[in-house]
């Protein structure tokens, strides 16, 4: 596999494995880290040992696998391992492990280590989708982020339960690139001010119904997160999404295309770069009903729509020195349509 960024030659890491069904994937990750030149000490929870044997990690890491806080008490592994490590990667990280880390519990080697470490800590959670979205897990993840932990969000797709959702352990190449970024943080965007839009807008039909689109907001949120990580000040103007805003990014929540237009215009002069990653509605109901439309009494065959204001076009007209970046979702002739869009607006 091809990897990006500098190699890990000479880098000392702790790879912590917890009791998720995805524990077997940590074997592949360990091999990748070793191939990249890192020295890796593996720590396993009791739960992890139920899924994969320490022997596998011992052979592949070339060193003893620590599983017990009290096992080698003279070496004080909970202090010595994090002291020597340049980063700790927890993959997969269970809901239990996130909870213990967020609350500062210290009842096994890994959780105790996390209270003593000064180096970057990367959690790559893996769990069932319902667990990942459980309010307690969401709270713990947010608390960890606030304290500087790096979370590699799990991916969407088929899960071990047979269901589908967000919960799959992130791909090992993604974990590796996050690790590279943690080891070599770039602050080359310090002093820059980015105004980023994200997500869909919702246009009311009546007080309870709206027209919207399938935008998840992930693109805008990811751009905001990396710009912030590179030192930029970021204002994220976001339509309704299920995403947690990145730590350190100012969030301006909006609902309609008009809300978004107003928010973007009011901060435009503050910014030096604008990225329109939002999927702004092109049309809205011309006359939203003030009361809920009744199923039996009304016909909606003639829902009149009116175009919304073109935010990117307006930004293009007002632009002085700002860099403007637009996104266009197309279903055909992608480049041709995107170029045409660009000519019309900027
Ligand atoms: C078959 C099986 C699969 C599991 N998979 C996960 C998982 O993917 N993610 C998770 O958070 N917990 C999972 N669990 C639950 C954890 O193993 C359990 O919460 C355990 O206490 C975690 O301990 P640890 O965090 O100390 O490793 C699974 C349990 C079983 C029996």
User: For 94-113, what is each residue's pLDDT tens digit?
Assistant: 999 999 999 999 999 999 99
Q: Could you give the C-alpha distances from 49 to 42, 114, 164, in angstroms and in order?
A: 12, 19, 26
pLDDT score of 72: 67
Ligand 1 pocket test target in 16, 20, 125, 166 with most atoms within 8 Å of CB: 20
CATH architecture type of domain 193-345: 3-Layer(aba) Sandwich (3.40)
What are residue 283's DSSP bridge partners?
307
Name the closest-CA residue to atom 3, ligand 1. Answer: 21
Determine if ligand 1 sits within 6 Å of the CB of residue 93: no
What are residue 237's DSSP bridge partners?
197, 252
Closest ligand 1 atom to 96 CA:
25
Sequence spans of domains, the chain = 12-183, 193-345
Determine if ligand 1 sits within 6 Å of the CB of residue 97: yes
Segment 283-312 shows an average pLDDT of 89
Determine if ligand 1 sits within 6 Å of the CB of residue 137: no
Name the closest-CA residue to atom 6, ligand 1. Answer: 20
For 98, list phi and psi in degrees, rounded to 5: -65, -40
Segment 70-78 shows an average pLDDT of 79
Name the closest-CA residue to atom 16, ligand 1. Answer: 19
- Quote the distance between the C-alpha of residue 229 and its chain's center: 12
Q: How far is the CA of 219 from the centre of ligand 1 (A)?
A: 30
Query: What is the DSSP secondary structure assignment for residue 86, as one 8-state letter?
Result: S
Determine if ligand 1 sits within 6 Å of the CB of residue 94: yes
Ligand 1 pocket test target in 22, 47, 154, 170 with most atoms within 8 Å of CB: 47
Closest ligand 1 atom to 22 CA:
8
Which one has a higher pLDDT value, 78 or 196?
Answer: 196
Determine if ligand 1 sits within 6 Å of the CB of residue 129: no
Q: How far is the CA of 94 from the centre of ligand 1 (A)?
A: 6
Cis peptide before 92 (omega within 30 of 0): yes
Give the containing element (helix H, strand E) for 252. strand 250-253
Give the containing element (helix H, strand E) for 83. helix 77-84
User: In this structure, are residues 59 and 72 in contact, taking their beta carbons and an 8 Å threshold?
Assistant: no
With helix as H, strand as E and coil as C, how does 270-314 read? CCCEEEECCECCCEEECCCCCCCCCCCCCCCCCCCEEECCCHHHH
Q: Distance from first CA to last CA of the chain, Å, rounded? A: 39
Q: How far is it, in rounded angstroms, from Cα 88 to Cα 11?
A: 11
Provide CATH code, domain 12-183: 3.40.50.1950
Fold matches, 12-183 and 193-345: yes
pLDDT in tens, 210-245: 999 999 999 999 999 989 989 999 999 999 998 888
pLDDT grade, residue 345 (50/70/90)? Answer: low
Active site residue 302: no
Determine if ligand 1 sits within 6 Å of the CB of residue 127: yes
Residues with Cβ within 8 Å of 133's Cβ and at least 6 positions away in sequence, in order, are 166, 242
Determine if ligand 1 sits within 6 Å of the CB of residue 126: yes
Determine if ligand 1 sits within 6 Å of the CB of residue 311: no
User: In this structure, are residues 294 and 205 in contact, taking their beta carbons and an 8 Å threshold?
Assistant: no
pLDDT grade, residue 186 (50/70/90)? Answer: confident
Which one has a higher pLDDT value, 251 or 73?
Answer: 251
């Amino acid at each position: 596999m091809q990897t990006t960024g500098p190699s890990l030659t000479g880098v000392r890491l702790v790879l912590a494995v917890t009791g998720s069904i995805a524990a077997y994937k940590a074997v592949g990750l360990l091999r990748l880290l070793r191939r990249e030149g890192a020295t890796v000490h593996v720590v396993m929870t009791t739960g992890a040992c139920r899924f994969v044997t320490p022997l596998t990690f011992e052979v592949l890491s070339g060193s003893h696998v620590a599983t017990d806080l009290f096992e080698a008490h003279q070496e004080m592994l909970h202090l010595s391992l994090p002291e020597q490590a340049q980063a700790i990667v927890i993959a997969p990280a269970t809901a239990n492990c996130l909870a213990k880390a967020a609350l500062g519990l210290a009842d096994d080697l890994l959780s105790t280590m996390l209270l003593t470490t000064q180096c970057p800590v990367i959690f790559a959670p893996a769990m069932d989708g319902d667990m990942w979205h459980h309010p307690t897990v969401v709270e713990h993840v947010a608390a960890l982020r606030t304290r500087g932990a790096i979370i590699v969000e799990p991916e969407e797709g088929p899960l071990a339960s047979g269901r589908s959702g967000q919960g799959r352990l992130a791909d090992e190449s993604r974990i590796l690139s996050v690790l590279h970024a943690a080891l070599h943080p770039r602050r080359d965007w310090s002093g820059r001010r980015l105004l980023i839009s994200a997500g869909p807008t919702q246009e009311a039909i009546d007080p309870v119904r709206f027209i919207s689109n399938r935008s998840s907001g992930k693109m805008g949120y990811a751009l905001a997160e990396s710009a912030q990580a590179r030192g930029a000040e970021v204002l994220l103007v976001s339509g309704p999404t299920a995403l947690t805003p990145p730590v350190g990014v100012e969030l301006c929540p909006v609902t309609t295309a008009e809300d978004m237009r107003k928010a973007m215009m009011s901060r435009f002069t503050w910014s030096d770069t604008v990225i329109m990653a939002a999927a702004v509605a092109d049309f809205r109901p011309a006359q939203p009903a003030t009361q809920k439309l009744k199923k039996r009494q009304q016909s909606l065959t003639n829902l009149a729509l009116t175009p919304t204001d073109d935010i990117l076009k307006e930004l293009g007209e007002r632009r002085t020195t700002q860099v403007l970046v637009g996104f266009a979702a197309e279903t055909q002739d992608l480049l041709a349509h995107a170029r045409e869009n660009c000519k019309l607006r900027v």
